[in-house]
Amino acid sequence: MRPRIERQILALFLSLMAVQAADIQGLIVIKHKLTRRSVTAPAGSYQRGRAVELDSAGVDDPLSYERAHVAIYLDGELSSAPSAATIEQRNRAFFPDMVLIPAGSTVSFPNLDVIFHNVFSLSAPKTFDLGNYSRGQTRTVIFPKPGIVFVNCRLHPNMSAVIVVSPNSVATMAGRDGRFVLPGVPPGRHMVVAWHKAAGFFRQSVQVGPGGAANVQFFIPIEEGGRPQSVAQR
């Protein structure tokens, strides 16, 4: 109980400090594709054979997809406000396939397909199995510990999603152009963590001065002088 109270006090303190907090602005630089992707046709409609456009969301640059799948957060005990997120099961896929939540948040998994789905995870931060459930049903899971949680469906091994549970609320997803802003960072030295499913963790130490912004740039993957950390090393 004690560490929890301490943490709450710390959080309160940090939020007081946030008045003087600054933004960390950054850029994710990805020079080549990291993920091999294949076309996944919509499920349940029984309309196989219909042409499916790759990245029908309108991403013409494959590197945009990679950049948009990078989660950035600050390591360390900072203020955290649990939130709620939704991962739909639609067309035999999880949508969205990547969610970033601070620890303690709740994720709901509604099934919008006509067929049964099953949602489970064997990842260490949170193992769960929601069982088989059909259309219209929604089941929820709370993720109290930070970490990377991979979510799958027993019935459809192709379905996969990842939930990045950050230790605090100072976290964001990179934009398609790779730019991101971590707002409300208290002054001091911080460790900025970037995570990409295929490339792993990237860390950079940043000094945030009072009232001053900081810039950070991630080259993913690291060309030289280091290897990305695996999920286990985190």
Least distance from C-beta 89 to another protein, angstroms? Answer: 12
Nearer to another protein, 83 or 134 (CB): 134
Quick one: residue 225, left, alpha or beta (phi over 0 = left, psi -120 to 50 = alpha)?
left
Cβ pair 20, 187 in contact under 8 A: yes
| Token representation of residue 43 | 């499920």
Query: With binding defined as CB under 8 A, does residue 43 bind another protein?
Result: yes
Closer CB to another protein, 111 or 168, in the complex:
111
Q: How far apart are CA 162 and CA 149, in angstroms?
A: 6
Least Cβ distance, residue 66 to another protein (angstroms): 27
49 binds another protein (CB under 8 A): yes
Interface residue with another protein, options 35, 40, 83, 134 (CB under 8 A): 134
In the numeric block, the tokens 């259309």 are attached to: 135
Close Cβ partners of 84 (under 8 Å, ≥ 6 residues apart): 105, 106, 107, 108
CB distance 107 to 85 below 8 Å: yes
Residue 134 or residue 205: which is nearer to another protein going by CB?
Answer: 134
Count, residues near another protein per rule CB under 8 A:
17
Q: Quick check: 72 and 214 in contact, CB under 8 A?
A: no
Does 132 interact with another protein (rule: CB under 8 A)? yes
Tell me if 58 contacts another protein by CB under 8 A.
no
Q: Which of 23, 85, 116, 138 binds another protein (CB under 8 A)?
A: 116
Peptide bond into 144 cis (omega under 30): no
15, 104, 110, 135: which one binds another protein (CB under 8 A): 135
Look at residue 146 and give its three-state secondary structure: coil
Instruction: Out of 9, 81, 155, 191, point to the residue binding another protein (CB under 8 A).
Output: 155
Stretch that binds another protein, among 76-84, 115-123, 210-218, 222-230 (CB under 8 A): 115-123
Residues 68-97, interacting with another protein (CB under 8 A): 92
50 is an interface residue for another protein by CB under 8 A: no
3-state secondary structure of 102: strand
CA distance 132 to 96: 20
CA pair distance 161, 145, nearest whole angstrom: 18
Exactly one of 13, 40, 44, 213 binds another protein (CB under 8 A); that residue is 44
Residues that bind another protein (CB under 8 A): 43-44, 46, 48-49, 92, 114-116, 118, 132, 134-135, 154-157
